[in-house]
Amino acid sequence: MRHLKPWRLGARTRPVLAVAAAMCAVALVAAGCSGDTTGGGDGGADAMSSAPPATGAQALSGVCPNKVVIQLDWFPESEYGGYFQLLGPNPKIDNNKKSIIGELLSRGKDTGVQLEIRSGGPAIGYQQVSAQMYVDKSITFGVVPTDESVQNSLKQPTTAVFAPFDISPIMIMWDKKAFPNFRSIVDIGQTDTKVLYYQTDTYMQYLLGAGILKASQIDGSYDGSPSRWVASSGKVAEAGFATSEPYIYAHELGSGQSYDVDLQLVNDTGYPMYGESLTVRSGDVASMTPCLKRLVPIFQQGLVDFMTSPNATNALIVRDVQSGDASAWTYDAGLANFAVNAMKNRGIVSNGTNSTIGDMQSSRVQRLIGILTPIFSGQKKELKPGLKPADLFTNQFLDPAIGLKN
């Protein structure tokens, strides 16, 4: 799950925002969180421009839901650019529902259905997306990391059909000036340097169990604020996302504070999670098969098109965020561009070991199951008996010919 950056909250504290968001999340389920739906002047559905109709496999009307709903796990960011890429002209931004909706386009052609992208995090009371999918059955797809799918495999099972991230962007970073000799998380573990992280992050239990970090040096009280980092002059290590915090700490802390950080992805320590995979409720796979056969390749192509030419979609994402409550979350063109470059340069978005974007490997998922089973057992979290990779993902709906070009 993404985490709110408290220094972006202005006068509001995180608990106050969390309560307000939770109330809105309940209202969303019960009554659509009704209110002003003008989208800040962006127009309603009747104002959406009409694109040429799609034909053949790109035509989704009558095959997919009239409105395809994607539930994100955080605010709009470039990490979700492949989905925003598919929105038609003049999408409607609804600040009350924390969503954006427009025609679902496939390479400029109207598929005949709408696409709604909903914000997560505080917009759904900070609960896991997989849980939200079982509360709100109007959600078609949810953005869910593999470890969350493992955790909820018994009571809220989800099946990934598309993995936009070949590598998770979760990382641990350190200040180059304070720690000039650090090259990896292993180096951190050979010192007594404090490592700040969110207590709910499962990967930390793996780092401890593997002997990479020591229990005496980790601190799960981290709340997203840079205050302890700044107070220590950068002499702590900190968890985050390779697509955001390095830029934020260099450019957005204010008061003349700027840090040049280095990092290692947690993936590179042997924790092979697929981050933010697109999932459906496992029980819906069979009934959704006709739709998934057509729609998943459209998601693949949307991501390829976004990574190839991101500027227009990044501008839409920035506009979407800026139309909302800036005291809760801000996002500008600089951070959007940084995120795309980080996804490219670090192989976060890539074809992996073949020429197909969005596929998953059984061996990686099996390794993650092996890592997580004793961790969740120790936490008294019951998994699906005999859990196997096929319970968590399928590549059957992907077009193997769609991938990034060198």
The CATH number of the domain holding residue 142 is 3.40.190.10
Check pLDDT > 60 for residue 207.
yes
Cα dihedral angle (163, 148, 330, 339), rounded to 10 degrees?
A: -30
Nearest residue to 348 via CA among 275, 246, 278, 400:
275
127 and 25: one domain? yes
Instruction: Decide which of 269, 290, 318 is a domain's last residue.
Output: 269
241 and 308: one domain? no
Do the domain assignments include residue 400? no
Instruction: Decide which of 244, 269, 294 is a domain's last residue.
Output: 269
The mean pLDDT of 382-392, rounded to a whole number, is: 98
Q: How many CA atoms lie within 13 A of 135 on its CB side?
A: 15
β-strands 170-175, 261-265 pairing: antiparallel
Check pLDDT > 90 for residue 27.
no
Number of domains in the chain: 2
149 and 224: one domain? no
Pairwise CA distance, residues 381 & 374, whole Å: 10
At 261 the pLDDT is: 98
Residue 216 gets the label, from left (phi > 0), alpha (psi -120 to 50) or beta, of: alpha
Residue 73 near residue 129 (C-beta atoms within 8 A): yes
SS3 of 127-186 = CCHHHHHHHCCCCCEEEECHHHHHHCCCCCCEEEEECCCCCCCEEEEEECCCCCCCCCHH
At 7 the pLDDT is: 41
At 326 the pLDDT is: 66
Radius of gyration of the chain, Cα coordinates, nearest whole angstrom: 21
Q: Which of 39-48, 50-59, 141-150 shows the lowest per-residue confidence on average (mean pLDDT)?
A: 39-48
DSSP β-bridge partners for residue 100: 93, 117
* Separation of CA 235 from chain center: 28
248 and 304: one domain? no
Domain that holds residue 294: 6-166+274-331+350-391
Higher-scoring residue by pLDDT: 105, 30: 105
Do the domain assignments include residue 215? yes
Do the domain assignments include residue 399? no
pLDDT digits (tens, 9 = 90+) for 256-301: 899 999 999 999 999 999 999 999 999 999 999 999 999 999 999 9
pLDDT above 70 covers a percentage of the chain that reads 87
DSSP annotation of 347 reads: T
Instruction: Decide which of 221, 238, 269 is a domain's last residue.
Output: 269
84 and 204: one domain? no
Pairwise CA distance, residues 357 & 363, whole Å: 17
At 331 the pLDDT is: 94
Do the domain assignments include residue 380? yes
33 and 149: one domain? yes
The mean pLDDT of 198-226, rounded to a whole number, is: 94
At 200 the pLDDT is: 86
70 and 206: one domain? no
155 and 12: one domain? yes
Do the domain assignments include residue 340? no
Single pTM value for the model: 0.88
Check pLDDT > 60 for residue 184.
yes
At 256 the pLDDT is: 85
At 2 the pLDDT is: 46
157 and 175: one domain? no
10 and 112: one domain? yes
Do the domain assignments include residue 343? no
132 and 53: one domain? yes
Query: How high does pLDDT run on average in the chain?
Result: 88
Do the domain assignments include residue 342? no
Do the domain assignments include residue 82? yes
47 and 154: one domain? yes
Nearest residue to 319 via CA among 335, 332, 309, 306:
332
